[in-house]
Structure 1
């Protein structure tokens, strides 16, 4: 075997010095195949680390430490490689060996703590980070990692305090920003989370995960355009990031934006990248449902549930799609799953409870509908939709006294809701509470002076009270808004007929018949007016 190859070794060393690691590896392998050289061997292993070829580096370092157990830097590099391939237990063994050899150095305890942190053995991690701090009291990274470990071990207040202490000593302590931003994010305290994300991204502007999380925080705070910018920057850095694609899709579904076609395009891109991507499926399904394509929406929600059977948001939206497609019997069990789930928040449960009532209402199972509406109101006495739906149901059942009570309660929650005012006026009229009905319709007209049905009902009520001039005035106000409003034409003609003003009655009946020539009642009344005029 040839015993020297100095030119190839020299070339390898030069490339290594210039950080041309890939070329250096080739040279070193060629040289080492011809002759052994310790420096080349060590440099080869380190170059593999720099190239991210950790498995090959591990092979070389395992041979190196077997040959030279005293090389502590080689042991450290081997442990680092184990960390990169997530072989944390093997890394712990090496770091413990190094800690036994150099017990005064805090960094070995820090690394052991990190390994246990990655293994999610937080109590173990806490002990080692505390030992690291005992050796290096001013090392802020140890403080921040202790803070994160305490937090994840359920000792959040202590953990937050340690990370804040780290930042008080070093405003550029990156692990502290990671911890505090994510902690406030998890608490839903987005106001507090935002500045930590901003500082984190000042230090690492290309952190895609932080960009996506900050985008979500900004969206939740109502800063929609800034949130979109964060997501777009994340996509610029990582065009295949499905979470950023999904969140941009969500941006376009926001009520203030409401661009379903745009949302659909982003969800489709995300779904194409990962066909098992549940948020993309759910987003696509929502868009299809908005477009009225309920079967496609339902199919996608069901597919998403086959992957994540307990996903409460998917369950809730599947129930909504089934309801929208008038599959009420099928929707009810899904809404009931929401009601039974600990993962559903109060708002979602409130909506689910009301929607079960709506489904029973549409199935004409009125007693069950009433029971669910009343459950919703028992939990939240001012829940508008349950109050409104219960009032509407009692109205349709002819139970006007009960309808009045719930319409009045709904009106107390939304005092300027003209639909509620109109319905309340109508049930008061049917209950023969005429004065109260008139007062209610005047309230409606004060809010919406062009409300056709409200103007018409005032005309009816004044005609019933034989206050015909006022009745005529309200019918004419309605016709000034819409000259073809049939109810006002019919009622105004009828009022003139009762007053014996047949010529005026004929004018409005002819206008009515010009709109609907087949109106038999108008035909009959017109013929009668014409006969009476001839007498």
Structure 2
């Protein structure tokens, strides 16, 4: 009789627990997260520590953006069901929300060690690796995701950007093109594809991409800026000045648009019209070499020789042998030549900037990039190797590059570019792959 009563009580308890879980699950679906917590927490206090209840409470706290409490419940649930990939993914998601990136990355990696095709874990790990500029690893992840879902433009876009950052322009163009076919409404994607097409040496397909994207958003400022920039680059100043006029009428008073309008008008020899946007651009950035040069010419003709002399004096001040200012001018010149695909001149100016400011490794990276685009991989590698050797030596000496985010992030890019240059030389039959920085004698 006693056994019979115990059986009835146990059965009743299980039925009541199942009913509670059913009610809690329904409340979760309805978004009543506070109600789930109000009902579920007393159950735990009374000794109900089932994995199902812990997961329900974790989900409720996560719904209220209480990631730390959600993480605690998910981790407790995982101790009951240690092989649950769903719980591990939830833990990774909470860690990501709390900014604990390394821990989240480790969790998703553990999931993929069990199931390498797991969609959610691959997607999250891809985002983490991309944000950390681990473009080679991220490209591998996005390659897996593309195989699983060939209709998701975002995966093609991310994979394209990975190859773009790694210096594999043809692969980037291919992936960006597939992404653009799936979603031509993304202006950022359109600009990325146009940049790569322009890098390949032909402005026409780049303009076609911008034109197609503008069919969906004709007033998008980044699209208009880049369209104007392309026309400016091919010296079609009539089209470029009309586009930059349009941008300024739309309220875009950025240095980029004002300076390119002024320079476009100077290119058409419309000096009287050019001086106003050049002055406005100068008021934003008084150290820009091209703006100062053209403003000096325009002011001497439109206003007075004295006014032109004033701007020439300003230019001389910029060019004084102050390492920071002079190096910035040299680097600016190099950047101008690079945008014009004059890579030899760009290389010389970047090296001149580095000679003037040897502590700034970005000049070396830029010089290497110029030679990489010129396909002179020997000189590109020389710059990259010097960058890496100097970076590593100064790191060992205690220099904290993490304080200089631009140099810190460029470090990984340079190392990837070195590998890419090795590969390109290998296919040219010049050198075996995987060359490493030479040791000091």
TM-score (norm 2): 0.54
Q: Is the 8 A contact 1:354 1:376 kept in 2?
A: no
Work out which of the residue numbers 238, 244, 258 in structure 2 matches 1:298: 244
Change (3 A) 1:125 1:71: closer
Offset from partner CA, 1:169-205 (integer Å, 9 cap, x none): 3323333322222223223332232122222323333
Alpha-carbon distance in 2 for matches of 1:324, 1:139: 62
1:17-96 matches, cutoff 5 A: 70=19, 76=25, 79-80=28-29, 90-93=31-34, 96=37
- Report matched runs for 1:468-483 at 5 Å: none
Report if aligned partners of 1:163, 1:180 keep a CA contact under 8 Å in 2: yes
Q: Residue 320 in 1 paired to residue 267 in 2? A: no
1:150 is matched with: 95
Match of 2:215 in 1: 272
Q: Give the direction of change, closer, same or farther, for the CA distance of 1:330–1:270 in structure 2 (3 Å limit).
A: same
Task: Tell me which of 201, 204, 210 is aligned to 1:257.
Answer: 201
Q: Is the 8 A contact 1:315 1:338 kept in 2?
A: yes
CA contact (8 A) 2:318 2:326 kept: no
In structure 2, distance between residues paired with 1:379 and 1:71: 71
The offset of 1:370, in angstroms, is 1.6
Q: How far 1:110 moved relative to its partner? A: 5.1
- The separation in 1 between residues aligned to 2:98 and 2:285, in whole angstroms, is 30
Is the CA contact (8 Å cut-off) linking 1:144 and 1:179 kept in structure 2? no
Contact 2:198 2:206 in 1 (8 A): yes
Quote the Cα distance in structure 2 between the aligned partners of 1:315 and 1:203. 44
1:372 and 2:318 matched: yes
State the distance in 1 between where 2:290 and 2:151 align. 44
- What is the TM-score of this pair, normalised by structure 1? 0.46
Give the corresponding residue for 2:289: 354
Q: Which runs of 5+ in 1 are unaligned?
A: 1-68, 83-89, 340-351, 389-408, 415-535
Cα distance, 1:131 vs. partner?
4.4
Unaligned runs of 5+ in 2: 1-17, 267-273, 300-307, 335-347, 354-441
Say if 2:82 is the partner of 1:160: no
Could you tell me whether the CA contact under 8 Å between 1:110 and 1:128 is conserved in 2?
yes
Give yes or no for the alignment of 1:211 onto 2:156. Answer: yes
Cα distance in 2 between the residues matched to 1:202 and 1:172: 10
CA distance in 1, matches of 2:192, 2:77: 40
Higher relative CO (Cα under 8 Å, sequence separation at least 6) belongs to: 2
CA contact (8 A) 1:305 1:315 kept: no
| Alpha-carbon distance, 1:161 to partner | 2.7
**Alpha-carbon separation, structure 1, partners of 2:251 and 2:216:** 19
Match in the other structure for 1:194: 139
Change (3 A) 1:266 1:387: closer
| Distance 1:410-1:179 versus aligned 2 partners, 3 A rule | closer
Change (3 A) 1:114 1:331: farther
CA RMSD of aligned residues (A): 4.1
User: Does the C-alpha gap of structure 1 residues 171 and 412 become closer, same or farther in structure 2, counting only changes over 3 Å?
Assistant: closer
The answer (yes or no) to whether the contact 1:374–1:386 under 8 Å persists in 2 is: no
Structure 1 residues 325 and 209, CA, compared in 2 at 3 Å: closer, same or farther? same
Q: Which string of whole-angstrom CA distances, capped at 9 and with x for unpartnered residues, describes residues 185-233 of structure 1? A: 2233322321222223233333221221212222222222322322333
* C-alpha distance 387-210 of structure 1, shift in aligned 2 (>3 A): closer
Instruction: Give the corresponding residue for 2:277.
Output: 330
In structure 2, C-alpha distance between the alignment counterparts of 1:203 and 1:411, rounded to whole Å: 44
| Candidates 165, 188, 191, aligned match of 1:220 | 165
Structure 2 match to 1:175: 120
CA distance in 1, matches of 2:331, 2:149: 47
In our comparison, the structure showing a higher alpha carbon Rg is 1
Partner residue, 2:4:
none
Q: What secondary structure sits across from 2:167 in the alignment?
A: coil
Partners of 1:194 and 1:385 in 2: CA distance: 31
Change (3 A) 1:225 1:387: closer
Aligned residue pairs total 296
